[in-house]
Structure 1
Amino acid sequence: MRRHRIAAALAAATVAAGTAFTLAAHTGASAAVGAAALSSNWYASAPYLMPQSNNPPDPVTVMSATGQKAFQLAFILAPNGGGCSPTWDGTSAVSSDTTVANVISRIRGAGGDVSVSVGGYGGTKLGQTCSTPAATAAAYQQVIDRYGLRAIDFDLEEPEYENDAAINNELGAAQILQRNNPGLFVSVTMPGTAAGTGWFGTQLLDKSKSLGFTPNNFSIMPFDGGFNGAASQTSALEAFHSLLMSHLGWDSATAYAHEGFSGMNGKTDVSEYFTQADFQTVLDYATSHGLGRFTFWSVNRDRACTTTTDNGVCSNVTQNDWDFTKFTARFAGATPPVTTTPPTTPPPTSTTPGSCAVAAWSATTAYNGGAVVSYNGHKWTARWWTYGDTPGGAAGVWVDNGAC
């Protein structure tokens, strides 16, 4: 997914200061810091929020307007210069952080809490740079201790997603953290396809089973892959439900209870559109089937575009501020405050054709994620590494960028 590669056109907003909370020493479980832990439905509903980039909103304002109590702060990465120590966005060491600590303090002071997401699309992941699952877990334990976390999300995407050793480090670390921090809410998030997830996703499920690791949920991201509206997303979720049963040996109810949805509000990176009506349809599916998680990317873009159309900081659909966050609050069981919804502007039904001045797809060429080819009069972009998968085929590897 390219959602995490979006560069903010606006400078990161200054986050209102708060007093950093007192840290407790790690004694084998996550430190009990700040407000009391929330019920697990809040961590299952926490929408993604980047606290240091993409013009971060004031989370307390969002909480007041929506009833949402938890946020998924993103992203913990390896240092840009290399190493096995946790940083925010590859640049800010967790060990010396005060900015995100103050954001967390404000959220907890307003009666909420946070989960932290590790990985994402961009940057280098700790699973790639740490030598073993134990070393990877030790790096993430620093984050848990620093912020007194009760929840963590493993957002496993390319290129790490395609690296067996890195995924073994990440899943092994998640299992160690789950064991050493009783009650820790653990999510595993991966790309979605029309088939539920792709080959690397099924390999991830198989790896989890071989380790004996069961997180609170496995979530897919059904966007940026040829999706069109809520029906395509619920179809993908149903297909993923079947994969959970077949690869993990679960019955139907267990699979639904451990399945999650992670959407994208408004215009996606490849110009798919998901409106409030789409979110309502998927929410209805999630609640009626007993899904274990409902979240989206991101709160930073949960507002109408006014002075910019930068997809990192606004949705590019007609909306009131924080309309989409109200759906996660509803999933958690809250009743959000009422606001007047502006009339919905239908998304564009056509796009300007792209140029076919790119190499034709070849069945004998290996392509990395992001590679662009032409095939049958359309331009296509690879979602991950592929060899021999025909654009438009059942594997769901290629994103159709339209006629050219």
Structure 2
Amino acid sequence: MKAMLTSDIRPSRRRGRLSLPRLVLVLGIAAAGVTMIKRSFDSQPASARSATWFAPYADVTLTPYLAFGDTRLNPADTVVLGFVVADHTSPCTPSWGGYYTPQEAATGADLDRRLATLRRRGGQAVVSFGGVANTELAVACTDEAALTKAYVSVLQRYEATTVDLDLEGAALSDVSARTRRAAAIAKAQASFPNGLDVWLTLPVATTGLTADGVATVDAFLAAGVHVTGINVMTMDFGTLTPEMNVADAAIEALSSASAQVHDSFSAAGIDLDTSALWAHMGATVMIGRNDVRTEVFNLDDANELLAFAHLHGLGRISLWSINRDAPCGPEVDSGVAQNGCSGVEQTLGAFTQLFAADIASIDAEFDSDSDSDNPQTSMARTWASSSRTGLVLDDPATAPYPIWNPATGYKGNDKVVWHGNVYQTAWWTQAVQPDAPKANPWDSPWKLVGPVLPTDTAPTTTTIPFGVYPQWNASTAYPAGSRVLNHGAAFLAKWYVIGQEPGAPAANPWDTGWQAVTPTADEIAGITAAVTTTTAVTTAGVTTTAVTTTTAVTSPTAVTSTPSN
């Protein structure tokens, strides 16, 4: 999937509908497609139908970081996290987008906290390896054992039961990497006692998979991988006729690819009937403006694809990406594909809401008339039946950020702890409680990042030793530039100050005459360098005593501060 520019969003609300002419078009294409089911969806017995699984992608490293666990922004219970690639300096080390190792992402991208929010409502994450950018792990890591270890370590780290392999460009065409990847995934899959679902996400044209795509499916089957499904990227076709919209192209591409998948499985000795074949197929759409400027996937296209999915029991629908599921602001060129908005008229989260609500309603049908249990509806029931048991009393000893204070003003991107959760501001705010109910998510300056984790601790503060700077005194006048200590922290007077306590809550930065100064590591190290001198005391030319004196040497710029948000 592609990476583009980021833009701001301003939401409203609207939902598209499938017109009768489009429905007729879908049914017409379906009748002509390869191995398609010709009966209507409702006429099929429950045993012959397969629930469609909806799992949108989230760009993990895109800033501002997406709160994909917040139901107000993302109602889907399963999220595909993209993308794990090879570290730039260590080819067998997995990395999120080349920026963070999984351990570094826990804090650097607040990923563990965002995942905890998703899991708290009964959701789960799928890890996607690859993508269009950076170097794919199997291409960089030529040691099969190390590659297997890398896959397993990431999947276990995130408790994932499904792996998604997004293979594009060099990663798809590299034959050695293809063989190595398939063998490593086969070993990784065998190491999961409760099973590991494997989805291959591959580029597609209206004529089907590329030759490298078919070869990839064949390689995985030959390696003994139990392939759960083939997810085709129905986007950026570049060959659409004026009469064909993106949904039409997606349906034609799915039909063509399904025939190829059937042949690959058959060659591997696996016979798929029509229902099983479609259950092994998935489609990922690029919502809104595609990289090909003339291709736009709108809400009507989404409804058209949903009708096709329900008719045939399509195994999976995904979208790229939740980060883009928003309208573009007036300052953004909506004619060019963006990272943070779709480029089409829509409300915030409209595509995700449409797919999640529509697929959940169909899944509920399956749950009511079939003995099989669908994980997505099961998670939805868990989420719907949960209730708030009471407010959490925040403990400063374990709070990773300052506890929210109504008297303090918070600028954009500040983080606080409130009632056991971490919140981040979208703009300046004061006295607005982070968890106060709002009709719409965009009405609140606060966004939920995730819960305070069991491993969280209070941020460490560096306390400047007594005597380095004078202790603040309420009756003393301090001219601009004065430095004082208050509760172990150092402050600089911005102007003439008297009677105002440094560090006291202030509604605005300009309301206080004191500024906490953030030191560099070198400045902190130079605060109290101990200097020992020995003085010889001589009487009548004879040394009789040696006196050792320790002096505190201070840097005039060295100060102490509590870590900022």
Indicate whether the TM-score tops 0.5: yes
The equivalent position to 2:150 in structure 1, one of 139, 158, 165, is 139
- The amino acid of 1:248's aligned partner reads F
Residue pairs, 1:376-395, within 5 angstroms: none
Q: Determine the C-alpha separation between the residues in 1 that align with 2:262 and 2:162.
A: 25
| Comparing 280-289 and 132-141, the one that deviates more | 132-141
SS at match of 2:317: strand
Local SS of the residue matching 1:145: helix
Instruction: Please tell me the residue identity of whatever aligns with 1:265.
Output: I
Shift of 1:327: 3.6
Partners of 1:280 and 1:321 lie apart in 2 by 17
Report the equivalent of 1:13.
Answer: none
Is 1:281 aligned to residue 290 of structure 2? Answer: no
**1:308 alignment counterpart:** 332
Larger radius of gyration: 2
Does the 8 A contact of 1:71 with 1:115 survive in 2? Answer: yes
Match of 1:16 in 2: none
SS of 1:291's equivalent? coil
Alignment-derived partner of residue 8 in structure 1: 6
Q: CA deviation at 1:149?
A: 1.6
Q: 1:210 to 1:331 in 2, by over 3 A?
A: farther
Q: Does residue 1:244 correspond to 2:261, yes or no? A: yes
Question: What SS does the corresponding residue of 1:254 show, helix, strand or coil?
Answer: helix
Would you say the 8 A contact 2:139–2:171 is kept in 1? yes
Amino acid at match of 1:125: E
Deviation at 1:190, TM superposition (A): 0.5
Matched, 1:127 2:138: yes
Letter in 1 for 2:360: G
- Answer yes or no: is 1:262 the counterpart of 2:274: no
Aligned letter for 1:213?
A: V
Q: CA RMSD of the aligned region, Å?
A: 2.5
Q: Which residue of the partner structure matches residue 199 of structure 1?
A: 211
SS in 2 for 1:107: helix
Tell me which amino acid in the other structure corresponds to 1:308: V
Q: Does 1:59 align with 2:68?
A: yes
Tell me if the contact between 1:151 and 1:185 (Cα under 8 Å) persists in the aligned partners: yes
Aligned counterpart, 2:317: 294
Structure 2: state its 5+ residue gaps. Answer: 9-49, 267-271, 363-379, 385-438, 441-565
Q: How far 1:332 moved relative to its partner?
A: 4.4
Partner Cα distance (1:142, 1:101) in 2: 15
Are 1:245 and 1:252, in contact at CA under 8 Å, matched by a contact in 2? no
Aligned residue runs from structure 1 range 128-207, under 5 A: 128-181=139-192, 182-207=194-219
Q: Which moved more, 1:296-305 or 1:142-151?
A: 142-151
**Contact 1:157 1:191 (C-alpha < 8 Å) held by counterparts:** yes
- Displacement of 1:168: 1.7
Q: Assess if the C-alpha contact under 8 Å between 1:217 and 1:259 holds in 2.
A: yes
Residues 310-325 of structure 1: pairs in structure 2 closer than 5 A: 311-325=338-352
* Cα distance in structure 2, aligned partners of 1:200 and 1:121: 15
Rounded Cα–Cα distance in structure 1 between residues aligned with 2:355 and 2:183: 29
- Corresponding letter in the other structure for 1:316: G
Q: d(CA) in 2 for partners of 1:247 and 1:140?
A: 25
CA shift in 2, pair 1:116/1:328, >3 Å: farther
Q: Determine the structure 2 residue equivalent to 1:88.
A: 96
In the superposition, relative to structure 1, how do residues 205 and 186 fare at CA in structure 2: closer, same or farther (>3 Å)?
closer
Task: Give 1:392's aligned residue.
Answer: none
- Residues 334-361 of structure 1 show CA distances to partners (whole Å, capped at 9, x for unaligned) of 5899x99xxxxxxxxxxxxxxxxxxxxx
SS of match in other structure, 1:153: strand
Please, what TM-score do these two structures have when normalized by structure 1?
Answer: 0.70
Q: Given the alignment of the two structures, is residue 45 of structure 1 paired with residue 54 of structure 2, yes or no?
A: yes
